[in-house]
Structure 1
């Protein structure tokens, strides 16, 4: 290409999914109808790749002969809006991550492919005249799922995704109903009304919270601190109702859009169903990794077009284009799941706050146990604090918390007699109990009683966990597993014993003690199959389980009206942790799981088995006093110089040879010290888990009392890191790290 030819073409700068902190120049023929934000296919090396046009440019530093042309423009979806491109630039700049990788990772996987995307038309299913007249008793009793579908459709038309929530076998059952002529499929009807099922009368505190946020003109960040069971979800519902309505003075002629972020996939189905019941004629879509690629892309496009008015999603949903965005809600804002731990290591909560400020709309962060960062911001006036101090359902009250001193009590398989007696009482009353043990598997380790051998992972600095049902030893860090040995690999002794408790062992012990009880174990192992957790949740709600044994999966966001007892087993390990956030996380976890008890008209009780019943954490838990506990932690953090009083960046490296990662970090530290900028640079130390998956891991911490000073340092230091030799290692820079 000559200079003369180049002048007849426009130049564009394209973001590509490559680990280079630059945009790439390409030439574009005027006939391509190229817009900023468009997806394009361009040559890169020997491949054709997809990119996003970020800007036009009048000139390039490259020689004209080296500038390649844009091959084609994908017109299957509209270009990304300028507002979203600005958000992506902010994330790239703040988290010091290549803009191309930020931009492409924000798209659904299906839109990262070079082939155009053709969305399928989602069908809506409704009862036919024959189906409406059908008596359900005429169906054979064994057709339970068909009866369930017909019952659901009597309340109104539903989409296929909603019907699949009823049962894993719903598609087959639906096919039979269509063939019988009782159900018919058609295109979804346009939503012409904004119906709102005002099912609950708000308490005075809830109404006050709704009014304060609804009156907000422009950006404002609100921290909604509500005790468990105080009705934060109901506040969200009424705020959605306010924002979805037309409001000319706020610039919402056709109503706004609401983005609700939740920490985990497990919370999305129940919330989705609940919001659909409250807004029956409002288009709602969910966005999370549990969706098929095509469905996720379709939901994303509905949000981008403004058709979807409520968008419910996990952390990646924060990058969804929303032309009529009028409110952002972040539920369980304290949850560590909002922080991405690889790739672009962003905090969805923090990005959501920036996005609300960028757009000039209110954002509400909700939690019963706010993060100390958010609580500190609320105390200092940066956020506005809204509080819900009473349970929403009367006469429900907070559960009574008892801390049992296990140094004074004999334990049977980790369970004390007072806890077992409390479970027995609930069984007699036909109420449900939850035993919380945040350790899956049968036992954390297998030990030889003769020589002291322990089942250690040969690939990690961790132990292999015993899973007795399939007689395997598994590493929960790298995934390695092996069969349980018949004898000790070291001394040959056959007396190998499990040490410690896991959920499987707890389930077995409870079944032995209460043989007639229906026990349900809920952890990552038992819910691995698709639809398993939805089926379990239905079992719990339908009263088909007496005792639940579970990990933190059961701790948040669930409402089980018949659950009146929570027993907490083995919580003390967090008190020994080197992680300065460990006690904050433990209090949040115990307050959340304890809050599952007594949420209806039956009194709740929480029994915590601990060797330290007089520890300030358990004293605050007994009195449900988050405020004083948070102040205690903030005082400690201030004295120690920890966040939120400092701002941190963590450089981590891992390599198959220990010396390689340490050499890289020492060089990085040398470059940092030479800059002589106002930041603290610590020494190179091993990671909390120094070896994982055959890689040796180390880290280097940098911090400053001023965020601006830290960012100025990182802007100079990061290009130096990019220039260091790194062929035999992986390294990452984590801004505002949560894990060390």
Structure 2
């Protein structure tokens, strides 16, 4: 295609609006050639938005007189290359999401807002032709300018760090620039610097690690599931594979579930790959840092990219390896907007780029395990802990009929005391933050409920307020019942804050460190809080799921799980799976060094068959048992499932909308063995942020059948007005 023809073509643009279509625009006047993948500023309704050009077309269904011109082409070259555009269009189609929202979500916030990509390019200064013609002492009467002249004559060009080292200010540079003697040079984008790490020699691999390493073949697509018990050395396998990718001149992508795991992962990678460009992408970074890391990876200067789920959309021109750590983790599934699953998109990315992908977990998701057992994925196993570490001894502590002390059984407290006396560390897992799950009046039965959600308000005694953990509603802590004005109000149950207080009072000789969202809100908080534990000092760690995975604390020899029962009786069919994963992950924090570990699991139902199976035979047997149950009940992963979600301020509106949806869908595809409908039914948290939530569940024998039904449904729903109702599609839903 010649340049002249591209200037006359229409721009097909993905605009970030909740409509499942693309929009056509005329190119701006006097614009040069425009390529797919560049950002453009376009008028939309009564405002201007930043869209991405997806295609150039010769004609449009929109009448010519109604076509508007784009206001500006922001990029000279594509920010999203062709393979990234294709992947994002697949995401939009598979997850039934508006294409403009899918493409916008792939960009860091700063780039999404229209900031120039070269804002993060490295800047340097060099002499102009006139400057090069000056004699070496041509600026002797201005000593600072003379020093800069000599530096540039010797070095050719110098960057900001070089100017800073030489003590040359921006005022001196500007003076020479104003004289026409120096000019600015823009280079590539380098990743933000990482904290210095002490280089560490790699440990010896055991036979299982070597077998896993040799099983991953570069240069072609494959999926391998690395099912490795906690502490078995999965991370070392990742590092060795990344080393091989770098040796082949390729880039590596490592996805981790949460920002809490990112700092330690980055430290370990930086220590192993000194001098290699490493970029990080997660929500703990500033908008500028995220854009810089994204651009460094997209330009190829960052050879290793470590990030949470959205990092999967970063263009990597020389991608050779994809690794998904803790692949079972719920945080890989986006729960609003474009409801994609980072793990599954990573597999699609690897397939499109024909590179291997490794999924790692001590507690694989049932979907991944099913694919491995059926032969779609290669199953690799690490059954032994690395080095001298041994699996912990796990014991049940029955609590039914026992006089508890702020949620702890007397036997549990005795074991904590003995462990601390030996100079070792204890981890207490409580999956509730705050002081107590709610307040209640002993006289009239009043309970502190959220006015906007179907949930209780959690007491945060340190901040003296009640907070809803769903909508963030906050109100002051009352000192009397608002219903009967009695002073007999009681905090029911225990959270991390209450347990921390009790443990401080009982074991005041050692630090009690609380790890939850309230104590780790700042950037380096997690690292600072864990410093005493990493130093090996005796301490008591109290925390939520943030402590349950990934952390290597070799002096933790006792893990206490305060309440193991919640998920065993969940209304969500995935409850038992998540309970097993959580218990196994938490238990895996014990005995990771040379010292033996012990795990105490407090439960009111020690005879529960699933609990007995998990403790006697481990997560592998437990998960395989759950898979057989799912097959009998026709639930994922043996079937495909999607939810049509709806919410409204008036409960009947959302329910009526979903009833209309079901009637339309059944008209197209009546219920059958291969396709079943359930609902509309209320969500498990029926009311959130003042809106009532319902869903309609679709279960099919395969995903193709679902996709063929959902695509026309979206067009039907967008073409009909349902006032006051918001709806969305949740393909492969993970949360009811």
TM-score normalised according to structure 2 size: 0.87
Residue 421 of structure 2 corresponds to residue 419 of structure 1: no
Once residues 123 and 116 of structure 1 are traced to their aligned partners in structure 2, the CA distance between those partners, rounded to angstroms, is 14
Q: Distance between the aligned counterparts of 1:509 and 1:675, measured in 2? A: 60
**Which residue pairs with 1:735 in the alignment?**
731
Aligned residue runs from structure 1 range 218-297, under 5 A: 218-246=220-248, 255-297=249-291
Distance in 2, Cα, partners of 1:65 & 1:718: 29
Alignment of 1:271-670 (within 5 A): 271-394=265-388, 396-407=389-400, 409-544=402-537, 546-623=539-616, 625-670=618-663
Aligned in 2, Cα 1:188/1:538: closer, same or farther, shift over 3 Å?
A: farther
Work out whether residues 17 and 104 of structure 1, in 8 Å CA contact, stay in contact via their aligned partners in 2.
yes
Aligned residues of 1:222 and 1:364 also touching (Cα < 8 A): yes
Are 1:196 and 1:241, in contact at CA under 8 Å, matched by a contact in 2? no
Give the superposition deviation at 1:537.
2.1
Q: Quote the offset at 1:418 in angstroms.
A: 1.6
Query: Separation in 2 of the partners of 1:493 and 1:8?
Result: 76
Query: Contact conserved, 1:119 with 1:294, CA < 8 A, in 2?
Result: no
In the alignment, the residues of structure 1 paired with residue 701 and residue 190 of structure 2 have an alpha-carbon distance, to the nearest angstrom, of 53
Structure 1, residues 382-430: CA drift from partner, whole Å, max 9, x if none?
0000000011122x11100000111253311111122111111111111
Structure 1 CA distance, aligned partners of 2:199 and 2:220? 25
2:202 aligned to which of 199, 202, 226: 199
SS of alignment partner, residue 32 of structure 1: coil
Q: Deviations over 1:588-626 (max 9, x none)?
A: 111111101100100000000101112233223323522
- C-alpha displacement at 1:21, in angstroms? 1.5
Match of 1:712 in 2: 708
CA contact (8 A) 2:21 2:99 kept: yes
Checking the alignment, whether the CA contact within 8 Å between 1:520 and 1:545 is kept in structure 2 is no
* Cα contact 1:261–1:317 (8 A) shared by 2: yes
SS in 1 for 2:311: helix
Superimposed CA distance per residue, residues 435-489 of structure 1 (whole angstroms, 9 cap, x where no aligned partner): 1010111111111111211111121111011111122111111111212222112
SS across alignment from 2:735: coil
| Counterpart Cα distance in 1 of 2:417 and 2:333 | 40
Asked if 1:725 corresponds to 2:721, the answer is: yes
- Structure 1 Cα separation of the partners of residues 72 and 731 of structure 2: 37
Q: Is the 8 A contact 1:473 1:481 kept in 2?
A: yes
User: Closer, same or farther in 2 for the Cα pair 1:427/1:8, shift >3 Å?
Assistant: closer
Asked whether the equivalents of residues 570 and 609 of structure 1 are also in contact (C-alpha less than 8 Å), the reply is yes
Q: Provide the rounded CA distance (Å) in 2 between the counterparts of 1:445 and 1:48.
A: 46
Match of 2:37, SS? coil
Does the 8 A contact of 1:74 with 1:116 survive in 2?
Answer: yes
SS of residue paired to 1:567: strand
Distance 1:7 1:436 in 2: 61
1:683 and 2:682 equivalent? Answer: no
* Gap regions ≥5 residues in structure 1: 125-159, 161-174, 180-186, 247-254
By how many angstroms is 1:45 displaced?
2.8
Quick check: 2:425–2:558 contact (8 Å CA) kept in 1?
A: yes
Match of 2:97, SS state, is coil
* Aligned position for 1:105: 105
Match of residue 127 from structure 1 = none
Distance (whole Å) between structure 1 residues aligned to residue 726 and residue 327 of structure 2 = 30
In structure 2, how many angstroms separate the alpha carbons of the residues matched to 1:260 and 1:328? 6
1:729 shift after superposition: 2.1
Q: Indicate if the aligned counterparts of 2:423 and 2:537 stay in contact, CA closer than 8 A.
A: no
The alpha-carbon deviation at position 216 of structure 1 amounts to: 4.6
In the TM superposition, residue 30 of structure 1 has moved relative to its aligned partner by: 7.4
Point out the more displaced range, 417-426 or 233-242: 417-426
Does the 8 A contact of 1:9 with 1:30 survive in 2? no
Q: Which residue of 1 aligns with 2:138?
A: none
Give the root-mean-square deviation of aligned CA atoms: 2.6
Cα offset for 1:188? Answer: 11
Partner in structure 2 of residue 9 of structure 1:
8
Quote the Cα distance in structure 2 between the aligned partners of 1:660 and 1:593.
Answer: 42
Distance 2:564 2:552 in 1: 23
What do residues 229-257 of structure 1 show as CA deviations (whole Å, max 9, x unaligned)? Answer: 000000000000111113xxxxxxxx000
Q: Separation in 2 of the partners of 1:521 and 1:491?
A: 35
**Structure 1 residue 27: deviation in Å?**
2.1
Q: C-alpha displacement at 1:265, in angstroms? A: 0.8
Aligned to 1:34: 34
Number of the residue aligned with 2:146: none
Note if contact 2:121-2:189 (Cα within 8 Å) is conserved in structure 1: no
Query: Within 2, Cα distance between the matches of 1:11 and 1:622?
Result: 63
Deviation of the 1:219 alpha carbon: 0.5
- Alpha-carbon shift at residue 100 of structure 1 (Å): 1.3
- Cα deviation per residue 1:143-200 (whole Å; 9 max; x = unaligned)? xxxxxxxxxxxxxxxxx9xxxxxxxxxxxxxx99x99xxxxxxx99999xxx996421
Residues 276 and 284, structure 1, Cα contact 8 Å, conserved in 2:
yes
Q: Which runs of 4+ in 1 moved over 4 A?
A: 5-8, 121-124, 187-191, 195-198
- Mark the CA change 1:674 to 1:418 in structure 2 (over 3 Å): closer, same or farther: same
Aligned length: 668
SS in 2 for 1:412: coil
* 2:26 partner SS: strand
1:353-401 deviation line (CA, Å, top 9, x unaligned): 111111111000000000001001000000000000011122x111000
Is contact 1:436-1:550 (8 Å) kept? Answer: yes
